[in-house]
């Protein structure tokens, strides 16, 4: 999974263990977690992620290493078409190697890490939003783990994730495995760490990137990779089609910004906000951009101003897709299906 999901699951695992045993406060849990994490100087494992969507199962296997505070290395082992893809971070320099292109991307990261996790807030939120059950202990790949299940308290959330099963190392309080289940109890995503080692003295040489022979080196900055935020007028001046906007928005939502995506500026994304909630409207010329096949399960067919559309829902995010006048549209947010359709039908 994404790093953000893994980070949240680590916190979740610690919350659950402490909640099931010592009934500690959120502040005490955060302090204990921080103390445990500070004892880890290096970590290595093979991460195996298996996802099952739409009747298809994909497996990604990756060798990972971390040395505190700012050294990481990850290399994809499978699938075969991605094998050899390598990412190395050493301080504020990151190297990414694409073997298919024989291309290296070198990136300079900000001196100060921009990501700061508010452990206490996340812990309180997770404790408020999930029913926790302790399932005992199990051995996982030779390590003793706590097994916990988290079930969303909100029944509507169970339409996307019915439960999460988590395995946590009893010695180091590190996440060793997790599995998410759909509303029918079928596994959707499983992540497991195999061949785990802690504090073995991984040498610094593991994080020195050597450019493969003949590889092209491209230098980029983090800012270069992020699309520029624009006004609606600026975005319209940068694309070749008429960008439409909704004449109807639910109470509290207001326009935030647009971004033009793609090297040839073929796609425009509009973002609307309501405090912490986000609504995304993406538009692109149908023939210009082939969208990847969705793995969000069988879509529900809907009608938008007489045109056929598809509605899908996963992980609390609802998405509506349709085509009108050779323009493809995608509208995503936490709003209900009928509200998304109403917004879509109001585009002018």
CA-closest candidate to residue 32, choices 46, 48, 17, 47: 17
CATH match for 3-70+110-218 among 2.40.360, 2.60.40, 1.10.3470, 2.50.20: 2.50.20
- Taking residues 76-94, report their average pLDDT: 94
Residue of higher predicted confidence among 202 and 175: 202
CATH match for 227-345 among 3.30.200.100, 3.20.140.10, 3.40.50.300, 3.40.50.1110: 3.30.200.100
Q: In angstroms, rounded to a whole number, what is the distance separating the alpha carbons of residues 247 and 258?
A: 16
CB 316 within 8 A of CB 180: no
What are the residues facing 13 on neighbouring strands?
none
Which stretches of 41-189 are DSSP H helices?
119-129
Q: Outline which parts of the chain fall under CATH 2.50.20.
A: 3-70+110-218
Contacts of 113 (CB under 8 A, 6+ apart): 70
- Taking residues 29-56, report their average pLDDT: 76
b/e per residue 74-109 (b: at least 16 CB within 10 A): bbbbeeeeeeebbbbbbeeebbbbbeeeeebbebee
Task: Say yes or no to pLDDT of 155 above 90.
Answer: no
Least confidently predicted of 24-38, 124-138, 304-318:
24-38
Label residue 225 by pLDDT band (50, 70, 90). Answer: low
Residue of higher predicted confidence among 224 and 27: 224
Tens digit of each residue's pLDDT (9 = 90 or more) over 190-222 = 999 898 888 999 999 999 999 999 999 999 876
- pTM beyond 0.85, yes or no: no
CA-closest candidate to residue 89, choices 76, 102, 70: 70
The pLDDT value recorded for residue 151 is 83
Label residue 289 by pLDDT band (50, 70, 90). Answer: very low
- Which two three-digit tokens encode residue 329? 């549209």
**Nearest 5 degrees, angle CA 59-CA 138-CA 46?**
35
- Taking residues 326-331, report their average pLDDT: 94
Q: Outline which parts of the chain fall under CATH 3.30.200.100.
A: 227-345
Q: What rounded mean pLDDT belongs to the chain?
A: 81
């Amino acid at each position: 999974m994404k790093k953000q999901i893994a980070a949240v699951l680590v916190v979740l695992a610690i919350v659950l263990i402490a909640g099931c045993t010592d009934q500690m406060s959120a502040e005490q849990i955060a302090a204990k977690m921080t103390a445990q994490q500070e004892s880890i100087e290096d970590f290595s494992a093979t991460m195996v992620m298996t996802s099952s969507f739409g009747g298809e199962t994909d497996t990604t296997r990756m060798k990972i290493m971390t040395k505190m505070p700012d050294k990481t290395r990850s290399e994809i082992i499978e699938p075969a078409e991605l094998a050899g893809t390598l990412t190395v971070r050493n301080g504020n320099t990151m190297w990414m190697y694409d073997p298919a292109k024989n291309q290296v991307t070198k990136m300079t990261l900000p001196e100060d890490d921009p990501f700061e996790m508010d452990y206490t807030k996340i812990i309180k939120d997770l404790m408020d939003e999930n029913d926790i059950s302790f399932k005992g202990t199990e051995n996982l790949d030779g390590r003793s783990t706590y097994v916990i299940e988290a079930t969303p308290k909100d029944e509507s959330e169970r339409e996307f994730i019915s439960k999460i099963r988590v395995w946590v190392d009893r010695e180091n309080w590190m996440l060793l495995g997790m599995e998410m289940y759909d509303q029918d109890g079928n596994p959707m995503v499983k992540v497991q760490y195999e061949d785990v080692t802690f504090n073995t003295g991984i040498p610094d040489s593991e994080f020195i990137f050597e450019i493969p022979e003949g590889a092209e080196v491209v230098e980029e900055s983090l800012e270069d990779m992020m699309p520029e935020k624009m006004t609606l007028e600026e975005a319209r001046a940068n694309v070749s089609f008429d960008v439409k906007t909704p004449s109807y928005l639910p109470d509290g939502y207001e326009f935030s910004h647009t971004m033009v995506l793609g090297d040839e500026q073929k796609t425009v994304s509009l973002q609307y906000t309501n405090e912490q909630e986000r609504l995304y409207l993406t538009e692109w010329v149908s023939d210009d951009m082939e969208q990847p096949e969705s793995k969000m399960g069988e879509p529900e067919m809907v009608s938008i101003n007489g045109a056929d559309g598809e509605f899908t829902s996963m992980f609390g995010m609802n998405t509506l897709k349709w085509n009108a006048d050779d323009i493809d549209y995608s509208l995503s947010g936490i709003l209900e299906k009928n509200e998304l359709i109403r917004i879509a039908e109001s585009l002018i």
